């Protein structure tokens, strides 16, 4: 085995070890049945509820080359699940529009979400700040992540990933970054190190990702979305800069330097944060216990395919 091959093998083994150790720390507390208004997925560490927004570290290793990602929506599914910014300890819940649960539509040839979709903890796209290059303000959410590995995740799963690139969606006038990552345990992970590697080893995925975000709201009567940078996926270096910017914005949010504006900053680990609560705080006593149930049935119309004429553009 060559020196380069040995180095690559050692690095891959180290990343897998980091992933196994970190993933084993976290479990889920599931409340109610999926596809209902009451459904919530809380994240636990050592049996205690924590905030996926504030308590899970952004970086999973000391070199900051591996990051933690919270899976909100598993690949191929349609329920629009997301971290609740407003609720205490920020459980994952299904988004609601006009009192109804939201599902993304199937825009041919796609079925639901085409990656494991989720967010980076300890990041925030500040709605008060206009990005110099996109000329649009942040969308007031944690940084969105598209994990492109082969294993399908589950809501509340904490994956260890490495960053490959980023796309800048302009969603209803706001900057909505989409970071492209891969699970460090994925068989292709050793070969995927920057955005050009994605096209080399997963041809068509970046184009499909661009198309998916452009058209996914059209079946609901919304206009086509647009991207900054003419839809170009920026490289790992650029993505890393955005991650650090949003991590700094989160730090100011959780420490009270930026007004929370309705966001819950309840957490159990962030020293100096006004939202930090102790183990005997009443906030913990109010949290529901695990009451997981089988998924509620969903309307058959969610399986419909929509054929969008602009999809070929």
How far does the chain reach from its first CA to its final CA, in angstroms?
47
pLDDT of residue 228: 95
Give the SS3 label for residue 251: helix
**Percent of all residues in the chain with a pLDDT value above 70, rounded to a whole number:** 91
Q: CA-CA distance, 63 to 136, in Å (whole number)?
A: 32
Predicted confidence (pLDDT) at residue 155 exceeds the cutoff of 90: yes
| Mean pLDDT along residues 207-219 | 97
Residue from 80, 105, 78, 293 nearest 215 by CA:
105
Q: CA-CA distance, 28 to 81, in Å (whole number)?
A: 15
Q: CA-CA distance, 250 to 20, in Å (whole number)?
A: 27
Q: CA-CA distance, 27 to 30, in Å (whole number)?
A: 10
| Mean pLDDT along residues 261-275 | 95
pLDDT of residue 22: 58
pLDDT of residue 289: 96
pLDDT of residue 19: 55
Q: Report yes or no: 292 and 76 within 8 Å, Cβ to Cβ.
A: no
Confidence category of residue 313, pLDDT binned at 50, 70, 90: very low
pLDDT of residue 176: 97
Predicted confidence (pLDDT) at residue 279 exceeds the cutoff of 90: no
pLDDT of residue 99: 93
Give the SS3 label for residue 258: coil
**What does pLDDT average to over the chain?**
92
pTM for the model: 0.92
Q: Report yes or no: 160 and 147 within 8 Å, Cβ to Cβ.
A: no
| Mean pLDDT along residues 14-37 | 78
pLDDT of residue 4: 46
Predicted confidence (pLDDT) at residue 204 exceeds the cutoff of 80: yes
Give the SS3 label for residue 274: coil
pLDDT of residue 24: 66
Q: Which DSSP state fits 309?
A: G
What is the chain's alpha carbon radius of gyration, rounded to the nearest angstrom? Answer: 19
| Mean pLDDT along residues 81-97 | 97
Q: Report yes or no: 142 and 124 within 8 Å, Cβ to Cβ.
A: yes
């Amino acid at each position: 085995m060559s020196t380069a091959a040995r180095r690559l093998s050692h690095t891959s083994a180290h990343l897998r070890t980091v992933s196994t150790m970190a993933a084993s720390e976290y479990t889920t507390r599931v409340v109610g049945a999926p596809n209902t208004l009451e459904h919530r997925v809380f994240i636990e560490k050592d049996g205690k509820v924590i905030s996926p927004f504030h308590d899970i570290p952004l970086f999973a290793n000391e070199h900051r080359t591996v990051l933690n990602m919270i899976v909100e929506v598993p690949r191929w599914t349609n329920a629009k699940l997301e971290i609740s910014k407003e609720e205490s300890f920020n459980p994952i819940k299904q988004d609601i529009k006009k009192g109804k649960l939201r599902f993304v539509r199937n825009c041919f040839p796609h079925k639901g979400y085409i990656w494991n979709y989720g967010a980076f903890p300890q990041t925030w796209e500040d709605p008060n700040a206009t990005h110099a290059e996109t000329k649009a303000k942040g969308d007031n959410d944690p940084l969105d992540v598209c994990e492109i590995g082969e294993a399908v995740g589950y809501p509340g799963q904490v994956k260890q990933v490495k960053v490959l690139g980023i796309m800048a969606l302009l969603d209803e006038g706001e900057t909505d970054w989409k970071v492209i990552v891969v699970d460090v345990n994925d068989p292709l992970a050793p070969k995927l190190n920057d955005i050009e590697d994605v096209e080399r080893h997963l041809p068509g995925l970046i184009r499909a990702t661009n198309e998916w975000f452009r058209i996914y709201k059209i079946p609901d009567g919304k206009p086509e979305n647009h991207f900054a940078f003419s839809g170009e996926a920026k490289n790992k270096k650029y993505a890393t800069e955005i991650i650090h910017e949003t991590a700094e914005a989160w730090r100011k949010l959780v420490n009270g330097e930026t007004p929370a504006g309705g966001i819950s900053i309840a957490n159990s680990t962030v020293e100096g944060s006004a939202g930090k609560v102790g183990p005997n705080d009443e906030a913990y006593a109010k949290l529901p216990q695990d009451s997981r149930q089988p998924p509620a049935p969903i309307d058959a119309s969610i399986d419909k395919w929509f054929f969008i004429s602009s999809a070929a553009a």
